[in-house]
Chains A and B, each alone.
Chain A
Amino acid sequence: MTIAFKPSRRDFLAGSTAAAGGLMLGFHIPFNAVSEANAATPPFAGTATPELNAWVVVKPDETVVIRIARVEMGQGTLTGLAQLVAEELDCDWSRVTTEYPSPGQNVARNRVWGNFQTAGSRGIRDSQDYVRKGGAAARVMLIQAAANEWKVPASECAAEKGVITHKASGRTTTYGKVTLAAAQLTPPAEVTLKDPKDWKIAGKSVNRLDTPDKTNGKLVYSIDVTMPGMLNAAIRECPVFGGKVKSFDAAAVEKMPGVKRVVAVGDTGVAVVADTWWRAKTALDALPVEWDDGPNADVSSEDIAATLREGLDATDAFVGNQSGDVKASLAKPGNKVVEAVYGYPFQHHVTMEPMNATALFTADRCEVWTATQNAEAALATASTAAGLPIPQCDVHRLHLGGGFGRRSSSHDYVRQAVLIAKEMPGTPVKLIWTREEDMLHGRYHPVTQCKLTGALDAKGDLDGLHMRISGQSILATINPQALQNGRDPATFQGLNAGGAEGVLGYTIPNLLIDHAMRNPPVPPGFWRGVNNNQNAIYLECFMDELAHAAGADPLEFRRKLLVNHPKHRAVLDAVAEKAGWGKPAPEGVFRGLSQQMGFGSYVAACAEVSVSDDGKLKIHRIVAATDSGHAVNPQQIAAQVEGSFVYGLTALLHGEITVKGGRVEQENFDTYPMMLMDEMPEVETIVMPSGGFWGGVGEPTIFVAAPAVLNAIFAATGKRIRSVPLTKADLRKA
């Protein structure tokens, strides 16, 4: 499982593209100061064959090893990135395997693999260019090696499925036969990438590389790591945010079976280390702990809601998007004013694999095995906790049992594992959180409210819109350096005037979208879809309200306003057509629409629901369209659409974290229920890549599911549901 490799001269791809950070949601990681000379990174285990470059090793037995910098957490990036490299490499796809370089190796090689962060639906779109170049460069070297052997010009040779052919003479050889010679060649200074229309492996619905081991129990997740002499730890942090440990009585449990140590973890937590995790957990349950609840002991959801309500009408707010004069529009005689207030609660990521990490600390080295969406951030966390410089630490990556942003928002579990292991030098310690610990110490979907005020002119056209968001900023807590004069630009996801990430599709003459930042003492995090989730509900449900007030068809009302954004309109048109908008739905079934742009992609949904007389909702079908520019694996895009709907609909149907006494009230699935199979609608996916840009896939469709369903509920019942989740709503017909 330990993977690493030798610093090499073949770091030609460590150009500015690969090393460029600068993500809006990025983290500042102090790696640039680390020099290769200081790094002590062991070689990749089991890779005796020299690499062709950082991305590709071809073994003499024809196995193609593709190195993956981003991490696999279910979203299919591992397979997609391998497809892109293999496409340019022209190798035999059936011989492809993958491996993860570690962040320590990345540091040691001047960040040759670029950014490891796997978040913001950026796994493929941010790295497609340089990974494809890695594949193309390797192909050029392999062909050159064959040409050298045959003493012919490389231009007379071609490769297909790992076989190199000299057309004139008909001679053939294979990648495996020339790989050692190719590895000695100077890499090409430049390579030309294929036109996507010529793709044979990329762009195709190939099966995932990681599926078989996920069906037979063989895949080793972080929680499954074992090593000789390893001990196990269970932890409890003060359940009240900002609280500390006052005291604990170690003597009360130290004699329990298997218990090795009881250790303080910083000043906020306590852990029991035992021979097995179950014994550690059992002893921890019995451990008497007194907490100092700290300054937030009285914080409740009601207080937080009141603070946010005040922000809805506050004078000061950060501006996100503005044009014309919205005040004048709203005051204009003859304009019809429509107003509504919406709200979105805290929600939990609930990755199926609870937080965990295994750490091994010695006097001069610290290694961690864990599931992380940002291994470089995990490495920085480990280094700080260990008190050792980064070159003396490393993080070994395993596939994630779910990420959804939780494992990028904070590496608190890595910090804890290292602090515990530091108490027992030389002994590997695996820390596993209980589900209860996970629920109480999440990085929650931010809480917000939104007041929308719209002005319809005499013709029923939207003349003005004020969208006031009040609530929590993720960046203010997680990455305050990314704030712009105090303003959190991520708050306006999907509502921006320009850029490539999330442009507001509607052209509204008088517009103001602003944010009154109110940050309650509950830690927020990036949560699949992030701020697009509530922004899409607020805007798309209100668009429906406006259409209704104008007496207009919700599709036509939107289409008119989308006149300047044809890609937004195209996905909306696609779902409307496929769902049969404007044609009769089955008896008792009602439709709702929504569209949004996010993470660089254009998405739309049409939901079909029915509501029984006693108010029971059934979501029958959702038709979804995605234009991600290019589509590396259409069937995996379809999988992400289906899956993101489960995530988004679980949030709509059930998702609410409440706070009382400064702590979260929900502790497990019994009080924080998940959508199950019986609630799952049929999902029809339209993958419609229009080419010319690279959009994300893992997140975008999540945020059109809920507003489409809410709009369909209105069509069915005449009721506007303006707060999430639906468990709080009475859906019986108005």
Chain B
Amino acid sequence: MVQLTVNGKTHDVEVDPDTPLLWVIREQIGLTGTKFGCGIAQCGACTVHLDGVAVRSCVTPVNSVAPEQQIVTIEGLSPDGAHPLQKAWVALDVPQCGYCQSGQIMAAAALLQSNQNPSDDDINAEMTNICRCGTYNRIRAAIRMATGADTGSNETRPKEVGRG
């Protein structure tokens, strides 16, 4: 039996102690917004917050997490999907397939907790999650929008729209 605090709620789960936190979140707790992408902490699709810090849950053994540590998943980032990052993500239509986006948003949220006004270089350095659809420029623009910064030169709307 392992006790975990996920999105403010305590869960007692029957699980093998070395099971990665990702699979406990998905299979035992039933929150599937956190995704499996690689299993070796390369892609970041499994990113959750552990006491406010972004961790890759696919390589975090559940027995390394203490019951009082606060795990936050995409479902718990805001009660109504209205975190500034989520709003910016919607405004700029960031996702394409969307599979990596929970991890991207959680990584971005952790970044903003430690650096409220990141430069593009800061964003590039911290945001190392893989997106195969190629939403990187819109992710960067959305992070800047969420901080209230100018979205910069990363155009998300084409300037020239001809006739239909």
A residues adjacent to B (C-beta < 8 A): 73-76, 196-197, 199, 202-203, 205, 207-208, 210-221, 223-224, 226, 232, 257, 276-279, 282, 350-354, 399-404, 432, 434-435, 630-632, 634-639, 642-647, 650, 668-670, 674, 676-678, 680, 682-691
Contacts and interface: CB of A to CB of B under 8 A. Distances in A.
A216 B74 contact: yes
A543 to B, nearest CB: 26
A350 B132 contact: yes
Contact of A217 (B19, B23, B73, B96): B73
Interface of B: 16, 19-20, 23, 26-28, 30-40, 42-43, 45, 73-75, 77, 81, 86, 89-90, 93-102, 105, 123-125, 127-140, 153-158, 160-164
Nearest to A216: B81
A631 B98 contact: no
A217 B157 contact: no
A215 to B, nearest CB: 4
A169 to B, nearest CB: 33
Given A353-B37, A435-B39, A639-B135, 19 more contacts: A197-B164, A210-B95, A218-B33, A220-B32, A224-B26, A232-B27, A351-B99, A353-B35, A399-B97, A399-B98, A432-B36, A435-B40, A630-B164, A646-B134, A676-B127, A677-B139, A678-B124, A680-B137, A685-B158
Nearest to A72: B97
Given A639-B138, A645-B134, A646-B136, A197 B163 contact: yes
B98 A214 contact: yes
A682 B86 CA distance: 23
Given A215-B89, A223-B36, A647-B134, A203 B164 contact: yes
B37 A354 contact: yes
Given A217-B73, A643-B133, A685-B155, A210 B98 contact: yes
Given A278-B23, A638-B155, A688 B81 contact: no
Contacts of B132: 350-352, 402, 404, 646-647, 650, 674
A668 B96 CA distance: 22
A58 B5 CA distance: 44
18 contacts: A205-B157, A208-B95, A211-B89, A211-B90, A215-B101, A216-B75, A216-B77, A224-B32, A432-B36, A634-B161, A642-B135, A643-B135, A646-B133, A670-B40, A674-B43, A678-B124, A685-B155, A690-B162
A276 B23 CA distance: 9
A74 B96 contact: yes
Q: Which 3 pairs, one residue from A and one from B, show the smallest C-beta to C-beta distance?
A: A217-B33, A646-B134, A214-B98
A690 B40 CA distance: 47
A644 B164 contact: no
Contacts, number: 224
Contact of A74 (B19, B98, B124, B139): B98
B34 A217 contact: yes
A403 B98 CA distance: 12
A212 B90 CA distance: 6
Contacts of A74: 95-98, 133
Contact of A689 (B43, B138, B164): B164
Most buried by A among B97, B102, B136, B161: B97
Contacts of B139: 677
Contacts of B94: 211, 215
A668 B40 contact: yes
A636 B26 CA distance: 31
A94 B3 CA distance: 43
A80 to B, nearest CB: 12
Contacts of B90: 207, 211-212, 215
Nearest to A689: B162
A404 B99 CA distance: 14
A434 B39 CA distance: 8
Nearest to A401: B99
Nearest to B40: A668
Contacts of A668: 38-40, 42
A400 B97 contact: yes
Nearest to B19: A278
A215 B105 contact: yes
Contacts of A647: 132-134
A596 to B, nearest CB: 19
A631 B40 contact: no
Given A207-B90, A689-B162, A214 B30 contact: no
B102 A217 contact: yes
